[in-house]
Structure 1
């Protein structure tokens, strides 16, 4: 963690690192994931001196996104992921929609 970070960010770092380790990530990778996540959250909250544009302009924080971008590849999120998001947003007619229609309905 960078010097001068708050106790909250230290706890957040430890929590993310432990979670990654429990999921089987090697120690170094778990530390990297935790550091990147915490640094991005610090940038979004204005706690860091420098920040990338994507850190600041991303509409959803990493915890809110909940892995929506993970394993995206060429296909993007699966139909089931899109359906779950449509259900959460209350989009009607979602059960009969295919992947392309769900993508359009969600405005992606």
Structure 2
């Protein structure tokens, strides 16, 4: 697929991008910049077009939960609270913290402690799989 090709996006994603772009244009953003921002927003919200590979591993419900968790942490940070308030203490005590709730760095440390081979080249999903 050529860069910038939108053929793998659903009609709903295309409509959403168009609506977002129109909104930016109404606020005085150039057409080209508005379109770029709109597609970036669609990609961030839905993980891009319908493609095979790692983007399909997570269910829509799991993605929604992750976004909600991320928004909650961002709001907490804006209020002046540390970002990983609950996670750091649970991880350091060896509690039963879900691996998906950990950052890649935290997973990397656990993989190093367990001497997982090839960990430096692994993505977060691969680290989770190797540690479970």
TM-score band w.r.t. shorter chain: 0.3 to 0.5
User: TM-score, normalised on structure 1?
Assistant: 0.45
User: TM-score, normalised on structure 2?
Assistant: 0.38
The structure carrying a bigger helix percent of its residues is: 2
| Greater radius of gyration (CA) | 2
